Structure 1
Amino acid sequence: MKNIHDARFDLNLIAVFDALLRERNATRAAEQLGISQSAISHALRRLRTFFADPLFIKTGDGMQPTPRALELTQTVLAVMGTIRTDLLTQAGFDAAESNRRFSLCMTDMGELVFLPMLIERMRKIAPHCTLRTIQIPPRQIFSALESGDIDLAVGSLHSMPEGLFQQQLFTRSFVTIANRKNRSIGATLTVKQFFELEHVVVTLSGKTEESYDSVIDNYGPRRKIYLSTPHFLTVPLIIERNPDLVSTVPRELGRTFESYKAVRMVETPIKLPNFAIKQHWHPRYHHDAANIWLRKLLKETFERLPE
């Protein structure tokens, strides 16, 4: 193994490697590091000489890493992550004094069930910071994260674009909700009843096969889906006015809906795997001090959330 004190190598080269991995563009990497493009080119030549590999090749889609560069990726990200997280985060972002507005992409379910807890914690430790939530189609999430228009995308998101970092916050189970006045549904649902009933499903992409509860369709005949909607919060209102409809939703949401007395929870008669709630962010902000702080806040807020 080459010695880290080798005259051909210094830790500044790791920063250049890291920037090129995330930006895939020499100009943007230079802007991010605050150096000239010629300095990036010089550093890349030194890296290529040191590792005896081209590392990054110019293509129509930017500078793509070679197999050797991909082998080194985890090590480079780990080194830079340790430096930025342990040494630079506190100096780069002071939550108690900052007045930054953070933007989160989340569903209306997230706003109803999880956002209040986040706000409560954030107001205590970052009293001058504010929040904005938006909902956008899954196909737009990557560009919104890349541009910085949103800091994190949070939820159980099907069709999430490739190329984003992600971290699991917690897992949850499903429950079925039905109108309280529907006497044909007792304390429990049979599998036969379940597939005979008409269902309301929530899908952000507009594709029924990508609905939040699409895993159900792997466990029996296809359901009778009457309505697909991008909004969780309309579901209990629809079921209240249409007693023959049911819907399968995350358990916390079912519990919240049940408290409004229009619907009640019934255990879904199929044993379904839990689904994961995750936070996603763009590689460009992987080492951003404020983004690191926000990700840590969400992780700490929700990782011990009881079922």
Structure 2
Amino acid sequence: MQRTHDPDFDLNLLRVFDALMTERHQTRAASRLGLSQSGMSHALTRLRAFYDDPLFNRGKGGMLPTPRAEELAPSIHALMETIRHEVLSRAVFSPRSARRTFSLCLTDLAELEFVSPLLRFFEENAHGCVLRTLQVPSKAMAEALESGDADLAIGALGNLPEILYQQLLFTSPFVTLVSKRNRRLPKALTLAQFEAAQHIVVDLNDPVHSSFDQVIEAAGIHRQIVLRTPHFLSVPLLLDAHPHMLATVPQALARQFARFDLVRELAPPVTLPRMALRQFWHPRHNSDPANVWLRGVIRRLFGDGPGAARG
């Protein structure tokens, strides 16, 4: 093996090693670093030559580390953490020249609302940067934000650790949706009509996500729930297939569904609390110029609510 003080060794290769250890998948690791497939393959070839070891072999579970890679991993990861949090965090972030992946914890609802405007902004102002979306369990979210595996979490999130910083982006009322093929129901539902109908409920089954269903039940309103699903995106198709059913969702989501021309909005028979969309980050990255820039972009694009995105 060559000595580590070899002047020909490119320290950027350690980023490749660390990403492969984290992702265990060459394509995902390349995306995380903003590299092409050929660039990732070339870097891995150089790492293997330097350490005189395969380091990662293709297996059923993806890229599996060799014993030599497992031995190197803790030291390399610690070094990369030091560089990220003690060195790079003090640099000035220049989005037009940056080559970085930004990772966001999002539900599918938040993906609908945030990703497309962000992509347009990145194409115009940070074309060398990559967006990556994650779905992280609530119990692991604070850890992901602290470690840097995720830069921000965005959504209607509650019960997160108090140590996390947060910023309100906008609030959205709730509306009840019905298939456009159902013309029997008026725009304003009565309580009797609401309780007599069959309902589809979006249930993320995660205590970190705010639930308005509890408020409905606490008000003594009884619904005939026939389906609970964790997927917002299936709602308009399900309502179109079952026109007699209802679903109560945030209006921000209903406006996204309007493009499918399958559902129409009804006013719920009771006043429901507004859903608050916030962005969350860890104090460890509060002064990181790249994180500060990203938070500012999201606040600028979405701070006035749905449809306010602008370049």
Kindly report which structure 2 residues correspond to 1:125-204, keeping only aligned pairs within 5 A, or say none. 125-204=125-204
Unpaired runs of at least 5, structure 1 = 1-26, 36-87
Q: Could you tell me how far 1:297 is from its partner in structure 2?
A: 0.8
Q: Is the 8 A contact 2:195 2:221 kept in 1?
A: yes
Q: What's the CA shift for 1:296?
A: 0.9
Percent identity over the alignment?
42
1:244-255 → structure 2 map (5 Å cutoff): 244-255=244-255
Cα–Cα, structure 1 residues 34 and 143, in superposed 2: closer, same or farther, change >3 Å? closer
Aligned counterparts of 2:222 and 2:118: Cα–Cα separation in 1: 37
Q: TM-score by structure 2 length? A: 0.65
Q: Which residue of structure 1 lines up, in the alignment, with residue 217 of structure 2?
A: 217
Distance 1:288 1:306 in 2: 27
> Against the structure 1 CA distance between its residues 304 and 34, is the aligned structure 2 distance closer, same or farther, given a 3 Å change threshold?
closer
Letter in 2 for 1:143: E
Partner amino acid, structure 2, of 1:178: V
Provide Cα deviations, 1:35-64, integer angstroms capped at 9, x if missing partner. 9xxxxxxxxxxxxxxxxxxxxxxxxxxxxx
Helix, strand or coil for the counterpart of 2:161?
coil
CA RMSD, Structure 1 to Structure 2 (Å):
2.9
**Contact 1:213 1:249 (8 Å CA) reproduced:** no
* Paired residue secondary structure (1:234): helix
Does structure 1 residue 114 correspond to structure 2 residue 114? Answer: yes
Aligned-partner SS, 1:301: helix
Deviates more, 1:182-191 or 1:115-124: 182-191
Number of residue-to-residue matches in the alignment: 227
TM-score, normalised with respect to structure 1: 0.66
1:261 corresponds to: 261
- How far apart are 1:182 and its partner, in Å? 2.5
**What does the per-residue CA deviation read over 1:71-125, in whole Å, with 9 as the maximum and x for residues that have no partner?**
xxxxxxxxxxxxxxxxx97x52111110101000111112223221122122222
CA distance in structure 2 between the partners assigned to 1:218 and 1:118 by the alignment: 37
> Is the 2:177–2:249 contact (alpha carbons within 8 Å) kept by the matching residues of 1?
yes
Q: Secondary structure at the match of 1:233?
A: helix
Q: Distance in 2 between matches of 1:140 and 1:212?
A: 23
AA aligned opposite 2:246: V
User: Does 1:279 find its partner at 2:266?
Assistant: no
Partners of 2:218 and 2:117 in 1: CA distance: 34
Matched to 1:160, the amino acid is: L
> Partners in 2 of 1:210 and 1:295 — Cα distance?
22
Question: Contact (CA 8 Å) 1:239, 1:245: kept in 2 or not?
Answer: yes
Quick check: 1:137–1:205 contact (8 Å CA) kept in 2?
no
- Paired with 1:136 and 1:234, the residues of 2 have a C-alpha distance of 20
Structure 2: distance between partners of 1:240 and 1:161: 39
